[in-house]
């Protein structure tokens, strides 16, 4: 035991994890698909009930079943006390949890320290938006690697610890819909790996985990929530986060350049059969929607690092030098939390002017501005979560965001005010419209109103 305690830790790997979390604090900002979580959480806190429709929007909606209410309440608590800084704090904690879990997995797999550090850095660079943009997905970013650590530990030595996956998925289901990725991962391990040796245990954990997916405030209607997300217009049209890989997007090119070598190295290592199946599945999912690249690189990290050899870590830095190096990310964290929070949407004066110009009528806005307005208590026509609205309204909104003529139908609707990002397709189309004129603008957004 004393020998184990004296075993040197992989210093470089953990330093990369620390720098990754510090970089998030220094450079992260709040993106679309974040503030609406806080806005719905505020409605839940105010009414004490789970909403059946979107409380801040006017477009015709569907019967919406709000499964991740716990995640929304947590976002509301952070936003109401710390503003956007609270959401960035949540992102930093999620990134720190994810990178620490991967570093721990690398250590348990006895990957070479330098290889582990390089692979961990590659994960951050491959999907920078996942680490540097605060979204509702941060819950899944934190919990996915934790589940991976558990499953790989059970692959090395089967124990009753596999049952920990059940409460983990139950918590995850109440935070974010990405729990479906976690359930698929667990199912792959149970069916391909464990069922051969412990069929009853595998069946029990699989059944209990399926029930855990439904352990939300809407119970059986959680299935409807998942179906709405997966079958919504954004998913069907591959819009935004659902967009497929494209070599016209520099970030997608970067993802392919880093994820493909990780995938090849991981497969060359010949991991367990269930891990091979998961790596291939995540590769296919990434081609279909680049948002899935995050799961691919995080899962491939450990077997990819192992492909460069294994062994007992050797001290790369003395304890004193390591502490000095660690002071740099600590300083970055401090600077990150005292810096002004970057504004990625309309400024507060323009938001107030939009609300005043609308005179209580709903405002048509692009996603970031729409969530800003919703969080202020203003009324919008449509916005996130898009799957809560009628299919026709979803398609029209996506048409409008992409500058298609069909989307102009929204401009003839009840919304007489539109708030759009400067330089966006929607902004250029409004600028050329004879029905709307510009009221005001700031560094990030432009406000338009219908002509009398």
**Tens digit of pLDDT at every position of the chain (452 positions):** 344 444 455 588 999 999 999 999 999 999 989 999 999 999 999 999 999 999 999 999 988 999 999 999 999 999 999 999 999 999 999 999 999 999 999 999 999 888 999 999 999 999 999 999 999 999 999 999 999 999 999 999 999 999 999 999 999 999 999 999 999 999 999 999 999 999 999 999 999 999 999 999 999 999 999 999 999 999 999 998 899 998 899 999 999 999 999 999 999 988 999 999 999 999 999 999 999 999 999 999 999 999 886 654 555 555 666 667 778 888 888 888 888 888 788 999 999 999 999 999 999 999 999 999 999 999 999 999 999 999 999 999 999 999 999 999 999 999 999 999 999 999 999 999 999 999 999 999 999 999 97
Scanning 127-239, the segments in alpha helix (DSSP H) are 128-132, 138-156, 165-173, 179-188, 199-213, 222-231, 233-236
Q: What gap in Å lies between CA 328 and CA 19, rounded to an integer? A: 8
The H or E element spanning position 348 is helix 348-358
DSSP structure string for 281-346: HHHHHHHH-GGGHHHHHHHHHHHHHHTT-B------S-HHHHHHHHHHHHHHHHHHHHSPPPP-S-
Nearest to 57 by CA among 36, 71, 78: 36
* β 133-134/29-30 pair status: parallel
Tell me, what's the pLDDT at 338?
Answer: 86
Tell me, what's the pLDDT at 222?
Answer: 96
CB 57 within 8 A of CB 380: yes
Scanning 55-178, the segments in alpha helix (DSSP H) are 69-82, 84-108, 113-126, 128-132, 138-156, 165-173
Phi, then psi, of 89 in degrees rounded to 5 = -60, -45
Q: Is the model's pTM score more than 0.75?
A: yes
Q: What gap in Å lies between CA 442 and CA 421, rounded to an integer? A: 10
Tell me, what's the pLDDT at 50?
Answer: 95
Nearest to 259 by CA among 285, 233, 240: 285
Q: What gap in Å lies between CA 16 and CA 9, rounded to an integer? A: 13
* β 436-441/445-450 pair status: antiparallel
Tell me, what's the pLDDT at 320?
Answer: 66
Q: Which three-class secondary structure state does DSSP give residue 364?
A: strand
- CA-based torsion, 289, 291, 295, 298: positive or negative: positive
Please give the structure tokens belonging to residue 218: 């809407």
Phi, then psi, of 145 in degrees rounded to 5 = -65, -30
């Amino acid at each position: 035991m004393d020998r184990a305690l004296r075993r040197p830790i992989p210093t470089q790997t953990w330093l990369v994890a620390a720098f990754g979390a510090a970089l998030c604090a220094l450079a992260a900002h709040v993106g679309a698909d974040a503030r609406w979580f806080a806005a719905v959480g505020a409605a839940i806190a105010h009414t004490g009930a789970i909403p059946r429709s979107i409380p801040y929007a006017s477009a015709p909606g569907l019967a919406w079943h709000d499964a991740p209410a716990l995640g929304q309440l947590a976002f509301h608590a952070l936003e109401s006390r710390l503003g956007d800084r609270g959401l960035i704090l949540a992102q930093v904690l999620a990134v720190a949890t994810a990178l620490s879990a991967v570093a721990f997995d690398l250590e348990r797999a006895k990957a070479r320290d330098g290889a582990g550090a390089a692979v961990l850095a590659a994960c951050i660079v491959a999907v920078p938006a996942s680490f540097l943009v605060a979204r509702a997905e941060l819950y899944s970013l934190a919990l996915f690697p934790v589940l991976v650590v558990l499953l790989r530990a059970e692959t090395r030595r089967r124990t009753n610890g596999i049952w920990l996956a059940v409460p983990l998925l139950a918590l995850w289901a109440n935070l974010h819909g990405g729990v479906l990725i976690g359930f698929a991962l667990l199912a792959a391990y149970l069916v391909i790996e464990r069922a051969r040796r412990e069929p009853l245990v595998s069946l029990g954990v699989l059944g209990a985990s399926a029930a855990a997916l439904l352990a939300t405030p809407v119970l059986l209607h959680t299935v409807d929530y998942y179906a709405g997300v997966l079958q919504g217009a954004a998913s069907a049209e591959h819009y935004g986060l659902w967009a497929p890989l494209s070599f016209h997007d520099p970030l997608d090119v970067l993802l392919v350049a880093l994820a493909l070598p990780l995938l090849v190295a991981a497969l060359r290592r010949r991991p367990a059969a269930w891990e091979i199946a998961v790596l291939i599945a995540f590769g296919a999912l990434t081609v279909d929607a680049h948002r899935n690249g995050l799961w691919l690189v995080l899962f491939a990290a450990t077997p990819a690092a192992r492909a460069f050899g294994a062994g007992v870590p050797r001290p790369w830095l003395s304890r004193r030098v390591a502490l000095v190096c660690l002071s740099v990310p600590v300083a970055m964290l401090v600077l990150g939390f005292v810096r002004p929070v970057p504004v990625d949407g309309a400024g507060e004066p323009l938001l107030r002017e939009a609300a005043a110009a609308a005179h209580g009528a709903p405002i048509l806005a692009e996603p970031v501005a729409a969530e800003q307005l919703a969080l202020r208590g203003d009324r919008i026509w449509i916005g996130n979560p898009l799957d809560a609205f009628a299919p026709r309204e979803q398609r029209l909104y996506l048409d409008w965001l992409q500058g298609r003529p069909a989307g102009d139908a929204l401009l003839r609707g009840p919304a007489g005010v539109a708030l759009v990002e400067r330089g966006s397709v929607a902004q250029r189309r409004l600028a050329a419209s004879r029905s709307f004129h510009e009221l005001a603008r700031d560094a990030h957004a432009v406000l338009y109103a219908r002509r009398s």
